[in-house]
Amino acid sequence: MMKLFDTHTHYTDERFAENGEQERDALLASLSSYHVQGVMDCACTENDWPQVRALAAKHDFLWCALGFHGLNATETTKNWQARLLKALKEEKKCAAIGEIGIDYHYEAETAALQRSVFEDQLQIAQETGLPVIVHDREAHQDVYAALHRFEGKITGVLHCYSGSAEMMTEHRKLDFYYGFGGSLTFKNNEKGVRAAIACPQDRLLLETDCPYLAPVPYRGKRNDSHYLSLVCEKLAEVRGDTPDHIAEICWNNALRLFKLQNKEFFV
């Protein structure tokens, strides 16, 4: 049976509980019917941590990542690093540090602070051995410069990969994976298709980034893990493979990255 692992979600977003918590619970309970048997839910700021942790505790197949997104770097307060480190060590279902990274599309004016918060979290990743989930939007040069400073010391995923196929080759020494989501299905996304084709097989990951970036034909609607199979099908199409084989590859890659091979938590 096909097994899909959604390596990047935001199920604590209010759009999943507009009609109460039961709405989100029902959605998550239905995912196994769509072959989704593993989910990584990501926090973006400290205020998200309790909600993400509670959701992970409630659902056996859902794991969590804690961190500060680049766009939330201004929300860091005194001793935030110590609090993050404490939360990472306390939470048994935390399998990554994320979502972290740099975004110059919306907040280029906070560039220096974003870089500082990003590198502090890379240092925490080195200390804990946890992988990082990296957001990189219009900040390739600074993101890669930071990652290379930790080359050989950390691993992680460049989620919703927006770089080129050539960048994968240029930075192949980094022990990183590449997440592909709904944008792969968008019309005229030739750059993304070329990157998906060029990505080494053992570095491929599937994701939704829900509630954002719903794939065609649902573009513009609220995204969720039900649509992950559409991303899998598109990735198989561009790589000349079968959806079942791509799903298997990405499943095994996700377990390896998040160190979940021996965990028995899937429905």
Torsion of CA 16, 50, 42, 123, to 10 degrees: 170
The Cα 228–Cα 234 span in angstroms is 10
DSSP string, 33-99: GGTEEEEEEE--SGGGHHHHHHHHHH-TTEEEEE---GGGGGG--TTHHHHHHHHHHH-TTEEEEEE
Q: Name the helix (H) or strand (E) containing 136.
A: strand 132-137
The pLDDT value recorded for residue 126 is 98
**d(C-alpha 120, C-alpha 124), whole Å:** 6
One-letter amino acid for residue 210 of the chain: C
State the pLDDT at residue 267.
43
What does the pLDDT look like over 123-136, one tens digit per residue?
999 999 999 999 99
| Mean pLDDT for all residues in the chain | 96
Pairwise CA distance, residues 188 & 15, whole Å: 28
Question: DSSP alpha helices (H): ranges in the chain?
Answer: 21-30, 49-58, 80-90, 104-107, 111-128, 140-149, 165-170, 190-198, 228-239, 243-257
Helix, coil or strand: residue 250: helix
Q: Which residues contact residue 265 at a Cβ distance below 8 angstroms, ignoring those fewer than 6 apart?
A: 60, 61, 63
Helix 140-149 vs helix 111-128: crossing angle, to nearest 10: 30
Q: How far apart are CA 47 and CA 14, in angstroms?
A: 13
Query: Low-confidence residues of the chain, pLDDT below 50?
Result: 265, 267
- Reported as a single tens digit per residue, the pLDDT across 227-236 is 999 999 999 9
Instruction: Give the closest residue to 205 by CA, choosing from 114, 118, 96, 56.
Output: 96
Alpha carbon 126 to its chain's center: 18
Q: Which of 63, 3, 65 is nearest to 252 (CA)?
A: 3
